[in-house]
Structure 1
């Protein structure tokens, strides 16, 4: 879908400079704020998983998969 939007914008652009501006707008982060090269993305608290939770979910998935496949792998 993004490629289609980019192609439509490119087709409507009159020159290469306008194509570059359109592409910069299309791929800009939401809100117009850009991170500096050394800046890390900060997630709000409670978003994402820590390693222990991710491993726990992977173990639950493996156990559920084993139940559904009868213990067969591959």
Structure 2
């Protein structure tokens, strides 16, 4: 379906520059998608949160193993 729209737009274009602008508009992402991507909060955990979690796991592991390692 896009190729048919592209062909129709190419036929109506007066020069190559207009054809390029038409293709850019045709294949551009929907409005607002770029802005939304920047506004999305960071996902995952920070370095400090990861280190805290690792310390908690190590403490739990030490309690489970009675202080033995390996």
TM-score normalised by structure 2 residue count: 0.46
TM-score normalised by structure 1 residue count: 0.43
